[in-house]
């Protein structure tokens, strides 16, 4: 059964100048929701949660944001540009031969991009290794963003299990759930993490106070998952 969410006026914390930067990437003034379902999360992370400094993008103790859903980099590029990681002019020719910004991001080309991604199911296992490597050596957090359809990839199941067994309190997985998974997740996404020992929260993308609180929340002995529902048709 499909539920059609009625279109409604959407409050969003994302400033207009950031939304304009997204539009420069996509060349789409209408803010196509599928390309922008991650914008609230990414903006909130960089504006309210992560300890990162555009002037020191390689600082050893920086928090790490890993965009695993690499096929939707527009909002991440826009937020990084808004925060000064690279010039906004880079946003105007994404995907060209001379541009460091592609349709899937490359960490070696872009300040602030922590992993090259695009093939689904690689970010969460990398995040688990990163969290293992930083744990006890740094106060840095590792936040990885995946999509609900991306969770189909079995590599995620392996990583969810390993992160739970190792109690990675410095790891947060944000699942941007735009209900794009073809076969669905009977019983929901969050319980699949919770069963493996993660602490789980479910929020709607425009519930700004709860979204911010959920993204800030960590527990010392277990990883955190935040499932963000973006099904509102004008979620961007």
Partner 1 sequence: MTALAPAPQALDLRTRFYAELDPLLDAHPDVDVVLAVIGSGYMGRAIARHPGRVIDVGIREQALIGVAGGLALAGRRPIVHTFASFLVERPYEQVKLDLGHQDVGAVLVSAGASYDVSAGGRTHQSPADVALISALPGWTVHVPGHADEVAELLQREAAGTGRTYIRLSGQRNARPGPVDGRLHLVRDGGETPPSSGSAPLVVAVGPMLDTVLDAVADLPVRVAWTATPHPLDADGLRVLAGPAPVLAVVEPYLEGTSAAAVAAALVDRPSRVLHVGVPGESELRRYGTPREHAAAHGLDAAGVRRRVAAFLV
196 scored as a contact of partner 1 (CB under 8 A): no
A 10 A CB-CB count for 145 gives: 29
CB of 124 to partner 1, least distance (A): 8
116 part of the interface to partner 1, by CB under 8 A: yes
The tokens for 166 are 């190792």
Would you count residue 50 as binding partner 1 (CB under 8 A)? Answer: no
- Per CB under 8 A, does 192 bind partner 1? no
Residues 107 and 112: their CA atoms lie apart, in Å, by 8
DSSP string for 52-94 = --TT-TT-TT--EEEE--TT--HHHHHHHHHTTSS-GGGGGGT
**The one segment of 23-31, 48-56, 100-108, 208-216 that binds partner 1 by CB under 8 A:** 100-108
Q: At a CB cut-off of 8 Å and minimum separation 6, what does 157 contact?
A: none
The single residue listed with the structure tokens 């090259």 is 116
Q: Which distant-in-sequence residues (6+ apart) come within 8 Å of 202 by Cβ?
A: 188, 190, 226, 227, 229
Q: In the range 131-170, which residues lie near partner 1 by CB under 8 A?
A: 131-134, 136-138, 154-155, 158-159, 161-162, 165-166
Q: Which stretch binds partner 1 (CB under 8 A): 30-38, 109-117, 175-183, 211-219?
A: 109-117
Nearer to partner 1, 126 or 203 (CB): 126
The answer to whether residue 173 forms part of the interface with partner 1 (CB under 8 A) is: no
Site residues, partner 1 (CB under 8 A):
60, 64, 106-108, 114-116, 119, 121-122, 124-134, 136-138, 154-155, 158-159, 161-162, 165-166
């Amino acid at each position: 059964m499909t539920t059609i969410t009625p279109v409604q006026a959407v409050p969003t914390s994302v400033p207009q100048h950031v939304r304009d930067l997204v539009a420069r990437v996509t060349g789409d003034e209408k803010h196509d929701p599928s390309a922008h379902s991650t914008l609230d999360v990414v903006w909130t992370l960089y504006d309210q949660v992560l300890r990162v400094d555009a002037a020191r993008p390689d600082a050893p103790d920086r928090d790490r944001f890993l965009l695993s859903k690499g096929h939707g980099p527009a909002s991440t590029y826009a937020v990084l540009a808004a925060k000064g990681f690279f010039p906004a002019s880079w946003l105007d020719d994404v995907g060209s031969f001379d541009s460091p910004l592609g349709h899937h991001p490359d960490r070696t080309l872009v300040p602030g991009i922590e992993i090259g991604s695009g093939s689904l199911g690689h970010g969460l296992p990398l995040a688990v290794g990163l969290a293992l490597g930083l744990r006890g050596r740094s106060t840095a957090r590792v936040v990885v963003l995946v999509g609900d359809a991306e969770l189909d990839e079995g590599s995620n199941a392996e990583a969810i299990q390993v992160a739970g067994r190792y109690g990675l309190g410095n790891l947060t997985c944000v699942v941007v759930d735009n209900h794009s998974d073809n076969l669905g997740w009977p019983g929901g996404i969050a319980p699949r993490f919770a069963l493996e020992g993660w602490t789980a929260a479910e929020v709607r993308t425009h519930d700004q106070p709860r979204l911010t609180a959920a993204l800030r929340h960590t527990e010392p002995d277990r990883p955190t998952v935040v499932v963000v529902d973006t099904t509102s048709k004008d979620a961007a």
